[in-house]
Amino acid sequence: MKLTTLCYIEKDNCYLMLHRTKKENDVNKDKWIGVGGKFESGETPEECVLREVKEETGLTLLKYRYRGLLTFMAEGWEDEYIHLYTADAFEGELTECDEGTLEWVEKDRIEELPLWEGDKIFLRLLAEDAEFFSMKLRYEGDRLVESKVCFPICAIE
The structure's pTM equals 0.93
Domain 2-150 has CATH 3.90.79.10: yes
Q: What was the pLDDT predicted at 24? A: 78
Separation of alpha carbons 91 and 108, rounded Å: 24
Q: What was the pLDDT predicted at 155? A: 61
Q: What was the pLDDT predicted at 157? A: 64
- Burial bucket for residue 81 (CB in 10 Å: 0-12, 13-18, 19+): middle
Per-residue pLDDT of the chain (157 residues; tens, 9 = 90+): 999 999 999 999 999 999 999 877 888 888 999 999 999 999 999 999 999 999 999 999 999 999 999 999 999 999 999 999 999 999 999 999 999 999 999 999 999 999 999 999 999 999 999 999 999 999 998 899 999 999 987 666 6
